[in-house]
């Protein structure tokens, strides 16, 4: 699947399209085909590693010391449930959903979320 990824911190130019492996939902997850995502302030801060000086070390530990741990940004998505894990009971196929992804994953065609 296609995703906009970043492999180093920096300006918007560090983002590029890349073909990555399609995610497969675990038993407690749904696979969402993403129709839209946001460009949130948190995405911009993570991409550029713009954090206050006193948060520099904890942020590096959380986001990645030498480069981003999670290479796909996107904290909020909307889309349609395409596949359901075995333990999922509250969602059905083709349900339209809005979701917060946590620390990214929304700049792609698909995402798995609990």
**pLDDT attached to residue 21:** 95
Domain ranges of the chain: 2-113
Checking if the pLDDT of 4 tops 90, the result is: yes
CA–CA separation, 96 vs 107, rounded Å? Answer: 18
The stretch 32-50 carries a mean pLDDT of 95
**pLDDT attached to residue 103:** 86
- 51, 45 in Cβ contact below 8 A? yes
Q: What is the pLDDT of residues 47-63, one digit of tens each?
A: 999 999 999 999 999 99
Tokens 């909020």 belong to 76
Average pLDDT of the chain?
95
Look at the domain 2-113 and name its fold. Quinone Oxidoreductase; Chain A, domain 1 (3.90.180)
The stretch 39-43 carries a mean pLDDT of 92
- 106, 34 in Cβ contact below 8 A? yes
Alpha helices in 40-112 (DSSP H): 41-48, 56-63
What's this model's pTM, rounded to 2 decimal places? 0.90
């Amino acid at each position: 699947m296609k995703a906009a990824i970043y492999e180093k911190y920096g300006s918007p130019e560090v983002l590029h399209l890349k073909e990555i492996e399609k995610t497969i939902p675990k038993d407690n997850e749904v696979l969402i085909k993403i129709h839209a995502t946001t460009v949130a302030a948190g995405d911009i801060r993570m991409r550029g590693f713009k954090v206050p000086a006193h948060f520099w070390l904890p942020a590096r530990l959380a986001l990645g010391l030498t480069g981003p741990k999670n290479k796909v940004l996107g904290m909020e998505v909307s889309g349609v449930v395409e596949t359901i894990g075995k333990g999922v009971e509250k969602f059905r196929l083709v349900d339209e959903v809005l979701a917060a992804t946590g620390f990214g994953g929304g700049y792609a065609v698909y995402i798995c979320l609990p």
